[in-house]
Amino acid sequence: MPIRVALRHHTRYTYDRLVKLSPQVIRLRPAPHARMPIRSYSLQIAPAEHFINWQQDPFGNYLARVVIPEKTRELAITVEVIVDMVTFNPFDFFLEDYAETYPFSYDEQLQRELGPYLEVTESGAKLQAWVANFRGLLAGAQVQAEPTVPWLVRLNQQLASDIHYNVRMEPGVQTCETTLGQRNGSCRDSAWLLVQILRHFGLAARFVSGYLVQL
């Protein structure tokens, strides 16, 4: 039986004078491919006089483009979501034949389509050392190729043992060098580190955002 959870996200900006706001793009709606069933969703904008158009970006994410025609002293955004938290098998997927063992290569067309998710944007010394050390662990075990899923599980386990999880209220995402240097970070910091590690290994990976619900 699923657990029904209600989320309320409120953001409010106030100004010391009347200001003219440019069009606002709000990215606070669950993606259409979200695993958890969305029972209801609402988006409320203040001031009440505004125009809203729903769009989708090239990756399928919902965007709310809001135009506020008159000057205002406040912008308030309130999102309410009711979602069913259900259990699912994270290994309920299949791999193409060529990807069943690592290392593997994407075909030319897929390589082009996955281009944004293969871009390496961090290559600091600590990150390169982590990648080299993991490669060394595999080489030490004399592994030339192995099933991809167990390889990914091992990589995740190694990162989880190296990086301590903590709650971090500061905005933004730490660099990989900061997370590795401090050996701790929030979930978003570890996620970004994992993304960059996977890209260094030639695997497409992307960063997504969400809410951590701890019952």
Q: Assign 29 a pLDDT band (cuts: 50, 70, 90).
A: very high
Q: Which two tokens stand for residue 202?
A: 């030639």
pLDDT at 86: 87
pLDDT reported for residue 140: 54
Look at 184 and 135; give whichever has higher pLDDT.
184
Q: What is the mean pLDDT of residues 115-138?
A: 91
Q: Which of 153, 158, 212, 163 is nearest to 190 (CA)?
A: 163
Question: What integer pLDDT is reported at residue 144 of this predicted model?
Answer: 66
The answer on pLDDT for 48 being more than 90 is: yes
Place of tokens 């995402």: 173
Poorest-confidence range of 107-111, 135-139, 168-172? 135-139
Supply the DSSP symbol for 129: H
Average confidence (pLDDT) over 110-132: 95
Q: What's the pTM value of the predicted model, to 2 decimals?
A: 0.83
CB 145 within 8 A of CB 101: yes
The confidence score (pLDDT) of residue 60 equals: 86
**pLDDT of 129-159, one tens digit each?**
999 999 886 555 554 688 999 999 999 999 9
First to last CA, the chain: 15
The count of other CB atoms within 10 Å of the CB of residue 193 is: 25
Residue ranges with strand state E in the chain: 3-19, 24-26, 38-46, 51-56, 62-67, 72-85, 101-102, 146-147, 164-165, 184-185
Per-residue CA distances from 69 to 47, 55, 166 (Å): 10, 19, 42
Q: At residue 24, does pLDDT exceed 70?
A: yes
Residue range 28-36: average pLDDT? 88
Give the pLDDT band (50/70/90) at residue 214: confident
- Residue 138: per-residue pLDDT: 58
Q: Does the pLDDT of residue 59 top 90, yes or no?
A: no
How many angstroms separate the CA atoms of 2 and 97, rounded? 35
34: pLDDT strictly greater than 70: yes
User: pLDDT at residue 35 above 90?
Assistant: no
Residue 190: what pLDDT?
Answer: 95
Q: Are strands 164-165 and 184-185 parallel, antiparallel or unpaired?
A: parallel
